[in-house]
Amino acid sequence: MGAPLIRVEMSMEEIFENIVFTRSRLLMLPLTAGLAAPFDALRVQWTTTNNKDLDLQAKVADATAVVQAKDDDLDDFVDAVIAGFKGDRKNDLYVLLIGSTTPSKFKRPILGDQLESMKLWVSPLTASKIPGMAALGASLPALLSGASDAAAALTQAESDLETHRTVGDKRTLVDAVNAARQTADGMVSTMPHGKPELGLPADFGDRFFLHDTAPKKAGKTRLEKQLLSLQTKTDTVKARLGAVTAAATEKAANATKATQLDTQIVAARTDAEAAAAKLKALQDQRDKL
């Protein structure tokens, strides 16, 4: 059967498990203990590679946090612009900026299309005669620049992590692990024939490597632990997604409520102006008597 190849798609934990397993099995027998030294070196290399992997993951997480913050800044800016229209969604400038979509849907992307759309807002806002719009337009370029830089930094961080895992240091580690395993396999697999006086079993060489096929009970337990770990990670991601969705729903609901209140304010103001005009007319009529 021989030593199965370690794949670059495997997790760092799985690679570590294979390194340690083979090293431990080799050290158990005086006959094979001398073959374990390369796997000591691989443990050191694994630690260095894993630390870099964690650092790159941290950079992705940091960049994601900045992107989220910049997206919040843009969303707050959109809210400020919408508030300036005082509920008048038929205003030509409102239609130009937001279009026929709802504010919550416009703000839904994490940067992306929202950022690209808002890059076209600067000129119409700065040229607007609506109170406060020109000042908002003047402040927008800095927000757009920060958001664009954040998006680019996240893309770069994700690319660096992907490169590390596919063609970088992780690939170098995987190649080194496979080379050491093949060398060890070449030595232990020939021992049953090379040392017949020891009476070694035919599958002697296979016992020094983890195998994915036809697992014994211990293998089944290991697989169950991996499945449990994956399920835990999945549950964690689902919980985070639920929290983000709930926050987005609450934010959308607040935006809808604010819009409804703006509409009611406009209607009330219109009614008040009409009532005031009627009162003035009645007073004028009374004064003429």
What region, left, alpha or beta, does residue 6 occupy, with left being phi > 0 and alpha being psi -120 to 50 degrees? beta
Phi, psi of 53 (to 5 degrees): -60, -45
Q: What is the pLDDT of residues 65-74, one digit of tens each?
A: 999 999 999 9
pTM of the model: 0.68
3-state secondary structure of 139: helix
Closest C-alpha among 23, 43, 8 to residue 181: 23
Q: What pLDDT tens digit does each residue of the chain (289 aa) get?
A: 779 999 999 999 999 999 999 999 999 999 999 999 999 999 999 999 999 999 999 999 999 999 999 999 999 999 999 999 999 999 999 999 999 999 999 999 999 999 999 999 999 999 999 999 999 999 999 999 999 999 999 999 999 999 999 999 999 999 999 999 999 999 999 999 999 999 999 999 999 999 873 334 444 555 565 566 566 556 655 655 665 566 666 666 666 666 676 667 666 666 767 776 777 777 777 777 7
The sign of the CA dihedral 14, 16, 20, 22 is: positive
Phi, psi of 196 (to 5 degrees): -65, -25
